[in-house]
Amino acid sequence: MTQTPGRFPLSEIERALFDIYTRCTLSLSHPRQLYQTGSFTYEQLAAIAGCSIPTMTRWMNRDKEPRMLKEVYLRRLGEFYFLLNYYQQIPVEVWDSLCPLPIQVREILYPSPHPE
């Protein structure tokens, strides 16, 4: 790896996190995996993947895979799939540091127990 002048090499922790992230298998094999888990529209799948609606429509209807960025789209769909399944295990403090939740969304995702 080329080192930029004035920069320090990665620490052991940074190298470990880099290794985990680059080996992580959050990707889906096809957008249909996410489509079948709920009532997502092609428009919503395209927004999650970061591709155009026509690209997602061709992919879903004709199995015509995108020529470029397919791996990026599948990774983004996989990350969202992970989020759908494990969001409750993410502490609110983590959300606050990544992307603060509006109060209404926080109440939906983490409803407080109501006294009886």
pLDDT tens digit string along 37-78? 888 999 999 999 999 999 999 999 998 999 899 999 999 999
85's tokens: 């399944």
How many degrees, rounded to 5, is the angle at CA 77 between CA 75 and CA 82? 90
What pLDDT is attached to residue 76? 95
80: left (phi over 0), alpha (psi -120 to 50) or beta: alpha
CA dist 67 and 16 (Å) reads 32
pLDDT tens, 72-83? 999 999 999 999
Could you tell me the pTM of the whole model? 0.80
Alpha helix (H) ranges present in the chain?
A: 12-23, 32-35, 42-49, 53-62, 70-86, 92-98, 103-109
Q: In this predicted structure, what is the pLDDT of residue 3?
A: 60
Give backbone dihedrals phi and psi of 104, rounded to 5 degrees, phi first. Answer: -60, -40
Check if the beta carbon of residue 51 is closer than 8 Å to that of residue 73: yes
